[in-house]
């Protein structure tokens, strides 16, 4: 793989603009090369003669003597200087020689601009990391003290007093110490527990300390006294000005927190709280380590890019400019900073000791989560189930045509009862297939969907995994359809075979059982993530709204017909109609009431989420977004009422409300969720930044969104088609799912670009402890 391709693949997606523009600099080098070739004098000796001349040169030898002569600036083509100003240093390159072309001047001006950008961005990220490291230091002090109080409730000795007594003992028995065991061994025997909580040191620092075993007795006393003065406050004193941050994990805690208006609570020294604190701080350390890895990768890849591009410059121009320029890079903050590496070593040592019980392998496996390997059996299984699904679809079509089932006297009854049961599976499979397509294109165009959704690293499903689940589910559903294609009633019992009638219910129970299965099968982490988001949607006003929560609620708004089909399951099997393949659901007032309610529940979830965000963020846009869902609730209710009560009055109300809701939602999709229709954008009617270079894709997506948004017109205007009413309703529902799949891609693309604009590449992990700085005694 060429370096340019590797450089692109190793970029942090949200920091793409902060990397050196390697391709652009390479283009400038090509311009320099073309300029030199065009100005090269014609004629002279042929190219073959040049090669012969090189063959006649004196042999330089296989080994060259190492020269330690000082670098002479006159032997180089450029000179790099530092310009001070505005609190920061900038690097500027000038030619020492005068024959530099305008193309080379432009190249070095752009190169300096890129280097200053990279150096500034790197220093800002290191500064953020140091601040976060200071916060984690304080959190660890509190954790150790909290652990002592929980595991040793009777108390703990005063470290400062013990260290003072240690110094006096050393001063009183200097000769004895020099003749006995080494100083550090004695200290570790008597005060190992005291020293454990003072400071975590990296392996490098520990090795440096171990090399200084021979010291003078007077120096030993002075060093220990100096350590006593620099020792931090006793760990237990930290708890005097520390409180616990409220996690608000249950609706009850959230309601109490809203009434209390206090984000902190007093310390309660229990093992349950200790485990909760350790889990929170463990997650914070893992996330912090990932940040360190990304910043270190950013540093390495950019330094490598500058080295590669300067070697290309020397090769093209036959100058000696790479050496002085890279010397400047090495001496800059970008090339000489070691804070990130040292922080990584200390984080590793701290995490292994405090969160993995000193198990180095276990600790590093958690910190360095390995990417999932692509397995051939996954591809094979996906293809196998896809082939089985295709074969079953052809079998259903062939049997239906061969038996002339659609013209059978029981076909209407079959469509009224069995089609809603099985269309539920079809709608779910279609939604999963659209999501698989979204994942594929998100990855292809560099949309960091796993970070945006908040998946734990290494647990997000790729498009192959989603396709495997989709086709596997489709095989089960189509198998049940094939087994339930009979339409003949038993002449003796006057009912249908109970076994085949129970197949759809059995499949639903099986899918629910797999979904809530606590064992580590069928992508447990993803299943639990889905269930947690679903629970947050149900308890919408009681939880802080995150993107995965409202994204799932948006998906549910496109599955209204599937939710109604699930209600039909309850009616059909709960009232025993499955024995006669008849249903009296639509004649029941109770069913009609729930038919209304289940249609507006997904929109109600989104309305409550918008109100919660309006309360927390005080953003009026959330209120306007909530108005969109309120209008949709009214439109869906009136369309449902029109379906039960035909009449011009209901038709007019359904028409007007649906038109208003659709126009409002379409505008919101295109302008707010997708960020398009910007008249002053450099990409006319689009955004300034696009991940897809082909602009017509966006215009096609906008047209499709408008058309599919108005698919509800069929339910109001009652267009006559040859399809059965149930089939037509399922078709309209499928069009809405396809619209939602298209919407998902551009919605997440817009979110990704917003993160890129703000360089947000990390998750924010809430810390367990809150320091009350006002009451802290320094």
| pLDDT of the residue at 168 | 54
What pLDDT does 644 receive? 80
What confidence tens digit (pLDDT) does each residue in 66-103 have? 443 344 444 566 777 777 666 567 777 776 655 557 88
The predicted pLDDT at position 191 comes to 36
Give the CA radius of gyration of the chain: 35
DSSP string, 403-448: TTGGGSTTHHHHHHHHHHHHHHHHHHHHHHHHHHHHHHHHHHTT--
The region of weakest confidence among 146-160, 214-228, 270-284, 529-543 is: 214-228
Burial level of 461, CB count in 10 A (0-12/13-18/19+)?
buried
Q: What is the H or E stretch that residue 151 is in?
A: helix 102-151
What is the predicted pLDDT for the residue at 404?
79
Instruction: Indicate the average pLDDT of the chain.
Output: 80
- The domain limits of the chain are 376-757
Mean pLDDT value of segment 657-675? 94
Between strands 242-245 and 264-265, the pairing is antiparallel
Cβ atoms of 438 and 741 closer than 8 Å? yes
pLDDT at 591 over 80: yes
pLDDT (tens digit per residue) in 341-382: 999 999 999 999 999 888 999 989 888 877 667 678 899 999
Instruction: Find the angle CA(254)-CA(259)-CA(264) to the nearest 5 degrees.
Output: 70
Q: In this predicted model, what pLDDT tens digit does every residue of 461-482 receive, in sequence order?
A: 999 999 999 999 999 999 999 8
For position 220, what pLDDT does the model report?
41
pLDDT for position 381:
93
pLDDT at 192: 37
- Strand pairing class (264-265; 769-771): unpaired
Question: Could you tell me if residue 100 is left (phi over 0), alpha (psi between -120 and 50 degrees) or otherwise beta?
Answer: beta
| % of the chain residues with pLDDT over 70 | 76
pLDDT value at 519 more than 80: yes
Residue 689 reports pLDDT greater than 60? yes
What's the pLDDT at 118?
94
In angstroms, rounded to a whole number, what is the distance separating the alpha carbons of residues 714 and 725?
11
Residue 3: predicted pLDDT: 86
Whether the pTM exceeds 0.75: the reply is yes
pLDDT per residue over 375-410, tens digit each?
788 999 999 999 999 999 999 999 888 877 777 776
Q: Residue 43 is encoded by which pair of tokens?
A: 């004629």
Q: Which residues is 83 bridged to in the sheet? A: 90
Asked whether residue 224 carries a pLDDT value surpassing 50, the answer given is: no
Say which residue the tokens 């002085």 belong to.
Answer: 324
**What value does the mean pLDDT take over residues 609-626?**
93
Q: Kindly report the backbone phi and psi dihedral angles of residue 320, in degrees, each rounded to the nearest multiple of 5, phi listed first.
A: -120, 65
Q: Is 338 helix (H, G, I), strand (E, B) or coil?
A: coil
Q: Is 373 left (phi over 0), alpha (psi -120 to 50) or beta?
A: beta
Q: 767 falls in which pLDDT band (50, 70, 90)?
A: confident
Percent of the chain with pLDDT over 90: 41
Average pLDDT of 412-416? 82
Cβ atoms < 10 Å from Cβ of 667? 12
Higher pLDDT, 722 or 452: 452
- From residue 175, alpha-carbon distances to 179, 190, 248, 284 in Å are 6, 19, 60, 48
Of 227, 260, 267, the residue nearest 243 (C-alpha): 267
β-strands 769-771, 242-245 pairing? antiparallel
Condensed to tens digits (0 to 9), the pLDDT of residues 169-206 reads: 545 544 444 444 444 444 443 333 333 443 444 444 44
* Backbone phi and psi for residue 379, each to the nearest 5 degrees, phi listed first: -65, -40
Q: 70 or 35, which is more confident? A: 35
Do residues 653 and 617 touch, judged by C-beta distance below 8 A?
no
CB 133 within 8 A of CB 207: no
Read off the pLDDT band of 240 (50, 70, 90). Answer: confident
Which range is least confidently modeled, 307-316, 561-570, 642-651? 642-651
- Give all strands of the β-sheet with 264-265 in edge-to-edge order: 264-265, 242-245, 769-771
pLDDT at residue 95, as a whole number: 67
Is the pLDDT reported for residue 216 higher than 60? Answer: no
* pLDDT, mean of residues 769-777: 63
Range name among 120-134, 544-558, 600-614, 639-653 with the lowest pLDDT average:
639-653
d(CA 490, CA 476): 26
Give the C-alpha separation, 593 to 160, whole Å: 72
Site of tokens 């013990």: 162
Q: What is the mean pLDDT of residues 126-137?
A: 92
pLDDT recorded at residue 437:
96
pLDDT tens-digit profile of 142-175? 888 888 888 876 655 445 454 555 455 545 544 4
Q: Is the pLDDT of residue 252 over 50?
A: yes
Q: What is the enclosing helix (H) or strand (E) of 265?
A: strand 264-265
Classify residue 271 as exposed, middle or buried by CB count within 10 Å of its CB (0-12, 13-18, 19+). Answer: exposed
**The predicted structure's pLDDT at residue 86:** 62
Between 48 and 460, residue with greater pLDDT: 460
């Amino acid at each position: 793989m060429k370096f340019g391709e590797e450089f692109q693949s190793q970029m942090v997606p949200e920091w793409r603009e902060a990397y050196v523009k390697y391709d652009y600099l390479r283009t400038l080098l090509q311009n320099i090369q073309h300029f030199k070739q065009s100005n090269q004098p014609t004629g002279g000796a042929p190219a073959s003669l040049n090669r012969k001349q090189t063959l006649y040169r004196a042999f330089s030898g296989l080994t060259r003597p190492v020269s330690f002569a000082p670098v002479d600036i006159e032997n180089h083509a450029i000179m790099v200087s530092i310009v001070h100003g505005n609190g920061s240093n900038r690097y500027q390159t000038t030619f020492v020689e005068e024959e530099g072309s305008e193309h080379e001047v432009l190249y070095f001006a752009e190169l300096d601009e890129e280097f200053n950008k990279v150096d500034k961005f790197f220093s800002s990220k290191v500064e953020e990391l140091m601040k976060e490291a200071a916060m984690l230091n304080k959190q660890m002090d509190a954790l150790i003290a909290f652990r002592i109080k929980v595991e040793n409730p009777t108390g703990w000795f005063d470290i400062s007093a013990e260290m003072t007594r240690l110094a006096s003992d050393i001063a009183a028995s200097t000769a004895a110490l020099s003749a006995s065991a080494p100083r550090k061994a004695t200290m570790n025997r008597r005060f190992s527990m005291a020293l454990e909580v003072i400071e975590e040191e990296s392996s490098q620092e520990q090795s440096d300390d171990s090399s200084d075993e021979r010291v003078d007795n007077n120096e030993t006393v002075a060093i220990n006294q100096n350590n006593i003065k620099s020792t931090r406050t006793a760990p237990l004193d930290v708890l005097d000005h520390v409180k616990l941050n409220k996690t608000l994990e249950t609706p009850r805690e959230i309601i109490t927190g809203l009434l209390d208006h206090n984000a902190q609570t007093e310390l309660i020294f229990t093992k349950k709280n200790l485990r909760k604190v350790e889990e929170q701080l463990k997650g914070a350390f893992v996330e912090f380590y990932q940040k360190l890895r990304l910043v270190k990768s950013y540093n390495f890849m950019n330094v490598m890019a500058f080295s590669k591009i300067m070697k290309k410059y020397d090769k093209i121009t036959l100058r000696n400019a790479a050496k002085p320029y890279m010397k400047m890079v090495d001496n800059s903050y970008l090339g000489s900073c070691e804070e990130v590496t040292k922080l990584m070593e200390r984080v590793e040592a701290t995490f292994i000791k405090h969160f993995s019980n000193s198990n180095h392998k276990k600790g590093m496996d958690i910190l360095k989560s390995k990417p999932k390997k692509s397995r051939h059996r996954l591809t094979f299984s996906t293809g196998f189930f896809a082939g089985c699904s295709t074969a079953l679809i052809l079998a259903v079509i062939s049997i239906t045509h061969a038996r002339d089932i659609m013209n059978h006297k029981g076909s209407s009854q079959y469509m009224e009862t069995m089609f809603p049961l099985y269309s539920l599976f079809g709608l779910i499979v279609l939604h999963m297939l659209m999501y698989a397509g979204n994942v594929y294109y998100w990855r292809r165009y560099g949309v960091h969907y796993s970070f945006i959704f908040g998946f734990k690293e290494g647990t997000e499903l790729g498009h192959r995994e989603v396709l495997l689940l989709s086709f596997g589910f489709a095989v089960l559903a189509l198998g049940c359809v094939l087994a339930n294609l009979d339409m003949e009633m038993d002449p003796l019992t006057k009912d249908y075979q109970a076994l085949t009638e129970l197949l759809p219910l059995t499949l639903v129970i099986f899918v629910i059982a797999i979904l809530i299965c606590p064992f580590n099968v069928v992508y447990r982490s993803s299943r639990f993530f889905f269930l947690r988001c679903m629970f947050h949607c149900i308890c919408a006003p009681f939880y802080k709204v995150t993107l995965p929560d409202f994204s799932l609620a948006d998906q549910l708004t496109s599955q209204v017909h599937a939710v109604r089909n699930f209600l039909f399951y309850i009616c059909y099997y709960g009232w025993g109609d499955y024995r006669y393949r008849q249903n009296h659901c639509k004649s029941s007032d109770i069913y009609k009431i729930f038919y209304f309610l289940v249609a507006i529940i997904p929109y109600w979830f989104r309305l409550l989420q918008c109100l919660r965000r309006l309360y927390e963020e005080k953003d009026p846009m959330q209120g306007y977004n909530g108005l969109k869902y309120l209008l949709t609730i009214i439109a869906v209710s009136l369309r449902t009422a029109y379906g039960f009560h035909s009449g011009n009055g209901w038709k007019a109300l359904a028409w007007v409300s649906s038109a208003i809701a659709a126009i409002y939602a379409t505008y919101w999709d295109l302008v707010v969720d997708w960020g398009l229709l910007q008249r002053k954008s450099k990409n006319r009617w689009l955004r300034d930044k696009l991940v897809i270079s082909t602009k017509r894709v966006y215009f096609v997506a906008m047209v499709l969104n408008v058309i599919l948004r108005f698919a509800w017109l069929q339910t109001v205007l009652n267009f006559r088609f040859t399809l059965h009413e149930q089939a037509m309703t399922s078709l309209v529902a499928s069009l809405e799912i396809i619209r939602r799949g298209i919407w998902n891609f551009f919605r997440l693309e817009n979110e990704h670009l917003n993160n890129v604009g703000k360089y947000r590449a990390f998750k924010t992990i809430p810390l367990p402890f809150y320091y009350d700085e006002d009451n802290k005694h320094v």
